């Protein structure tokens, strides 16, 4: 995969959105996101499902924002 300067997440070849990271920084972002969602799931029985859903929503908005800032412009591709 070709590395482009400053791009952590390349656009998907087909469809809309981003593919797997092409830089180590992108892998760190993805790993931290998965780790935090997993940790939130571990606390969900004590905190409740509404708490988990709120945390999941906030984390997902943050990670999509990072994808948007550090990824290629997502566009519909065939």
Q: How many residues can be counted in the chain?
A: 78
Q: CA 62, CA 32: separation in Å to the nearest integer?
A: 12
| Average pLDDT of adjacent 10-residue blocks, the chain of 78 residues | 74 86 95 97 91 96 95 81
* Predicted local distance difference test score (pLDDT) of residue 1: 47
Q: How many helices (H) and strands (E) does the chain have?
A: 2, 0
pTM of the predicted structure, to 2 decimals: 0.82
């Amino acid at each position: 995969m070709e590395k482009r300067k400053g791009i952590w997440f390349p656009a998907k070849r087909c469809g809309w959105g981003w593919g797997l990271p092409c830089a180590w920084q992108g892998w760190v972002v993805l790993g931290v996101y998965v780790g935090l969602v997993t940790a939130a799931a571990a606390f969900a029985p004590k905190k409740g499902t509404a708490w988990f859903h709120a945390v999941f929503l906030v984390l997902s908005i943050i990670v999509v924002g990072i994808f948007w800032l550090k990824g290629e412009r997502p566009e519909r591709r065939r």
